[in-house]
Amino acid sequence: MKNFIFKTNNTWTGTLLRWTMGMVFMPHGLQKTFGWFGGMGLNKTMGLFTENLHLPFVIAFTVILVEFLGSIFLLLGWGTRFWALAFIGLLTGIMFTSHLENGFFMNWFGNQKGEGCQFDILAIGIVITLCIEGGGKLSVDRWMSERNNINKD
């Protein structure tokens, strides 16, 4: 299992994709945990998720955890495949519970009730590629796999 999590190709593909996901989702995680960027912070976000959206406490906390810690770990390239799998679960859940009912397209012009699933599909494609590729260059995964002689490229 350790080989699956840390093995990575020595390319820039994984690096670029994980930095993209990390940079896109980090502000969302910071909104939910600390209230930065106009967010509600941890307590209010948990209240919204559990009381208004009726998510179980564990699921609500996991959403916040994946967006916040997952973003940090993707930026570092540490456990890239684990966090990519976590994002697949997160994005699939969001798509089926919140976005699919609004169709395919994002709500650029405010013509829809809410966001469609277009972004979710795009982000899922990125993290599936990270599951295949690994963290790439400049990743803790690469350093750990070289140190433990896991990679054979």
Looking at residues 87-109, what average pLDDT do you find? 88
pLDDT per position as a tens digit, 42-87: 999 999 999 998 999 999 999 999 999 999 999 999 999 999 999 9
Structure confidence at residue 112 (pLDDT): 78
Does residue 106 contact residue 118 with C-beta atoms inside 8 Å?
Answer: yes
Phi, psi for residue 42 in degrees, rounded to 5: -65, -55
Lowest mean pLDDT among 5-9, 13-17, 85-89, 129-133: 5-9
Q: What is the CA radius of gyration of the chain?
A: 17
Going from N- to C-terminal start, the domains of the chain cover 2-142
Phi, psi for residue 8 in degrees, rounded to 5: -150, 150
Q: pLDDT grade, residue 105 (50/70/90)?
A: confident
| 122 Cβ contact partners less than 8 Å away, ≥ 6 residues apart | none
- Classified as helix, coil or strand, 107 is coil
Structure confidence at residue 28 (pLDDT): 95
pLDDT per position as a tens digit, 139-151: 998 988 887 776 5
- Report how far residue 28's alpha carbon sits from residue 56's, in angstroms, rounded to the nearest whole number: 20
The pTM for the full model equals 0.87
